[in-house]
Amino acid sequence: MLLSDEHEALRATVEEFAQKEVAPVIGDLYIKERFPYDLVKTMGEMGLFGLPVPEEFGGMGGDYVALCVALEELGRVDQSVAITLEAGVSLGIMPILRFGSDEQQQRWLPDLAAGRTLGAFGLTEAGGGSDAGATRTTAKLDGGSTEHADRGWVINGTKAFITNSGTDITSLVTVTAVTDRGEDGKKEISAILVPSGTPGFTVAPSYSKVGWNASDTHELAFDDCRVPEENLVGQRGRGYAQFLSILDEGRVAIAALSTGAAQGCVDESLRYAREREAFGATIGTYQGIQFKIAEMEARTVCARLAWHDAAAKMAAGRPFKKEAAVAKLVSSNAAMDNARDATQIFGGYGFMNEYPVARHYRDSKILEIGEGTSEVQKILIARHLGL
C-alpha cells in the first residue's frame, strides 16, 4: 500500500516532531519515569489524537490509517510516547466514537480528540488477560424502576495494566463488567463509562515496569462505584463483542507502532555501524554486521507490508481480523528481534539506558503481549485457516 499524498505529508510532519521534539527529551523522562505531558499537549495541538475523529467532534476527519502512519513514526523514536497516543485513541476514543450515544460523544470526544484529556479502557483483570471472557468485575442496576431518576450502575471489581488511567488529564475509563447472567450461567458483559474522580473509583500507584517507563499504567479498583444508567456504552450485553472489534483495530495500530520500533533499531544500528571503529575499520565494513542489519531491514519491510495490508482492508470495509492478527504477530516479533540484534551491535553501549536501542530492548517485549499475545494471534490465524 503506497501512502496517499495526505498520509505522506502527515508522516513527514510526525517524523519531524519525533526527531526534533521527542528524541532530545524522552531519554531523561524515561529514566525518571515521568509522563510526557508537554509532548502530549503538542500532539494534541497537532491534531494527532483527533486523526480518526469526525470534524463535528473537533477531530481531523481522517481515518485509522492516518493514526497508524503517525504511530509508526513515533515508534521509531520512542514507544512510551507512541503507546500514549495509541491507547488514547484506540482504547480511549474509539469505544465512544464507535458505540457511544450522541450525548456521550458530544460530551467527551472534543476534549479527547484535542488531547486536552485522555481516556482509558478497563478490560484486563489479574485473572483474565487473554481470556477476557473471564471478567469478574460486576455492575448491577440500582435505583428501582426504569423511570427512577437515581437509577444507576454499581460497579465492583478490579482491572490491571490499564494504560493512561492515572494521569492528571485522564477524564474517563470505559470498563467492561458482568451485568447479568443467563439461565445457563453465561455472562452478560457490558461496557460502562466511569468518569475520573467518581466516588468508589480508586487508581493504584504506578506499576514499576520493565519498559514503557514514560507511559502511564495502573491497577484500578471499583468499590460500590456508582455511575448513571446512561453511562452504558453501546448495547447492554454487547460489551464483549464491542471490545473484540476495538481490539481488531487496535492490533493494526500496535503493528504500526511495532514496525516503527523495528525501523528505529535499523536506523540506530546503521548510524552506529558507520561511526564505531574496531580492529582498524568501521564495524559496518564487516560482513557479520552487514548481514545482521540486512536481516533487521528485511523483518521491518515485512512488518510494514503486513500492517499496510491489514489497514487497507480495514479502510475498504472488508474483513481484516486475520490480517490484523498476522500484522500484530509479525511486527511485534520484528521489533523484539531487531531490538535484540541492535543491542548486540552496540555492545556495551546497547546496555546503557541513554541509548535508544536499550529503550527499544526493554520496551519491545510488551509488544508481544499487549492487545493480544502472540499465542492468541496464532490461534486467530489458525481459526481463519479452518483449523
Residue 229: CB atoms within 10 A of its CB come to 16
CA distance 215 to 161: 11
Residue 52 CB partners (closer than 8 Å, separation 6+): 59, 60, 62, 63, 64, 66, 67, 89, 93, 94, 97
Per-domain boundaries in the chain: 5-118, 120-237, 241-384
| 5-118 under CATH 1.10.540.10, yes or no | yes
38: left (phi over 0), alpha (psi -120 to 50) or beta: alpha
* Closest among 190, 226, 191 to 91, alpha carbons compared: 191
End-to-end CA distance of the chain: 29
| Residue numbers annotated as active site | 371
The answer to whether the 5-118 and 241-384 domains have the same CATH topology is no
Answer for the pair 133, 127: CB distance below 8 angstroms, yes or no: no
Answer for the pair 162, 124: CB distance below 8 angstroms, yes or no: yes
* Closest among 201, 321, 340 to 261, alpha carbons compared: 340
Quick one: CATH architecture of 120-237? Beta Barrel (2.40)
Answer for the pair 211, 366: CB distance below 8 angstroms, yes or no: yes
The pLDDT assigned to 107 comes to 97
If DSSP states are collapsed to H, E and C, what string results for the chain? CCCCHHHHHHHHHHHHHHHHHHHHHHHHHHHHCCCCHHHHHHHHHHCCCCCCCCHHHCCCCCCHHHHHHHHHHHHHHCHHHHHHHHHHHHHHHHHHHHHCCHHHHHHHHHHHHCCCCEEEEECCECCECCCHHHCCCEEEEECCCCCCCCCEEEEEEEEEEEECCCCCCEEEEEEEEEEEECCCCCEEEEEEEEECCCCCEEECCCCCCCCCCCCCEEEEEEEEEEEEHHHEECCCCCHHHHHHHHHHHHHHHHHHHHHHHHHHHHHHHHHHHHHCEECCEEHHHCHHHHHHHHHHHHHHHHHHHHHHHHHHHHHCCCCCHHHHHHHHHHHHHHHHHHHHHHHHHHHHHHHCCCCHHHHHHHHHHHHHCCCCCHHHHHHHHHHHCCC
Answer for the pair 109, 52: CB distance below 8 angstroms, yes or no: no
| pLDDT tens-place string over residues 256-286 | 999 999 999 999 999 999 999 999 999 999 9
What's the length of the chain? 387
Cell of 221: 479498583
Residue 300: CB atoms within 10 A of its CB come to 24
Residue 103: CB atoms within 10 A of its CB come to 9
For CA atoms 87, 93, 99, 103, give the dihedral sign: positive
The pLDDT assigned to 307 comes to 98
Its pTM surpasses 0.75: yes
Biggest distance spanned by C-alpha atoms of the chain: 83
Crossing angle of the two packed helices 37-46 and 5-17, in degrees rounded to 10: 160
Low-confidence spans in the chain with pLDDT less than 50: none
114: left (phi over 0), alpha (psi -120 to 50) or beta: alpha
* Closest among 264, 160, 263, 167 to 214, alpha carbons compared: 167
The CATH number, out of the four listed (2.40.50.90, 2.60.40.10, 3.40.50.300, 1.20.140.10), of the domain defined by the range 241-384: 1.20.140.10
The pLDDT assigned to 126 comes to 86
